[in-house]
Chains A and B, each alone.
Chain A
Amino acid sequence: NAGVTQTPKFQVLKTGQSMTLQCAQDMNHEYMSWYRQDPGMGLRLIHYSVGAGITDQGEVPNGYNVSRSTTEDFPLRLLSAAPSQTSVYFCASSYSEEGAGELFFGEGSRLTVL
């Protein structure tokens, strides 16, 4: 069972470059979300989706875009990377549409913006 798969695991960008972090889950979960983790800051919600075609902003959405065209995939786009976006990014999914159920996390994507 693959669970939640994130790619790439590591990425280095220059300021102003764009990129997409991929997230796919094979558990048929309706709820998917993106978090960033910074030292001393815990896990902060960027964007989330309660189903295909539906997305909403979390606590720190600025500088990030998402879309949810299928149940399985929830990519996170950085349109113009900034050093403040250097972080570890986690994708998570849950069987519950309200996100109240157990969150299954991917292994993370470590992004460095120079």
Chain B
Amino acid sequence: GQQVMQIPQYQHVQEGEDFTTYCNSSTTLSNIQWYKQRPGGHPVFLIQLVKSGEVKKQKRLTFQFGEAKKNSSLHITATQTTDVGTYFCAGETTGANSKLTFGKGITLSVRP
């Protein structure tokens, strides 16, 4: 079945450093979504990417969808302590009975 992979599961950065994480799918995706979950909270939608090569920005966060629509990246510029949390990507395949499959997430900690 479809697999969505996020490696590593944990990353620690110094406040002010940039951070990049990747999401890879075993199959071609129709779209990919990114969510953020704060410690003790619930996942909150950040963005959805649909087009091949698409790039979207939200303040210090930059999201990119790969040309082959099988991978995606999230880049955070100058991390802040408010960026702490777990970031999940979720990919949806094309065709009938497609489901949204979540990666295992990457937990980001930021040292002040």
Of B14-22, B38-46, B60-68, B70-78, the one with at least 4 CB within 8 A of chain A: B38-46
User: In the bound complex, what is the Cα–Cα distance between A59 and B42 (angstroms)?
Assistant: 20
Contact flag A103-B42 (CB < 8 Å), given A40-B104, A42-B102, A58-B99: no
- Chain B residue at minimal CB-CB distance from A101: B48
Q: Which of A48, A90, A104 contacts B99 (CB 8 A)?
A: A48
What's the tally of chain A residues with a CB closer than 8 Å to chain B? 24
Complex partner residue of A106 from B30, B42, B92, CB under 8 angstroms: B42
Contacts of A98 in B (CB 8 A): 98
Kindly state whether residue B84 has any CB partner on chain A within 8 Å: no
Q: Are B42 and A108 in contact (CB under 8 A)?
A: yes
Contact check, A99 vs B42: say whether CB atoms are below 8 A apart: no
Asked whether A103 and B92 contact (CB < 8 A) given A40-B9, A41-B104, A48-B99, the answer is: no
Q: Is the CB of A107 within 8 A of B42?
A: yes
Contact mask for chain B residues 79-109; partner A; CB cutoff 8 A; 1 contact, 0 none:
0000000001010100001111111110000
Is there an interface contact between A102 and B33, defined as CB atoms closer than 8 Å? Answer: yes
Q: How far is the CA of A80 from the CA of B11 in the complex (A)?
A: 38
Contacts of A43 in B (CB 8 A): 43, 88, 90, 102, 105
B31 contacts A by Cβ under 8 Å: yes
Write out the residue numbers on chain B whose beta carbons fall within 8 Å of the beta carbon of A45: 99-102
- Can you pick out 17 interface pairs between chain A and chain B where the beta carbons lie within 8 Å of each other? A35-B102, A41-B104, A43-B88, A43-B90, A43-B102, A44-B102, A45-B101, A45-B102, A48-B99, A90-B42, A90-B43, A98-B98, A99-B99, A100-B30, A103-B35, A103-B43, A106-B42
Which of A's residues lie within 8 Å of B, judged by CB? 35, 40-45, 48, 56, 58-59, 90, 92, 98-108
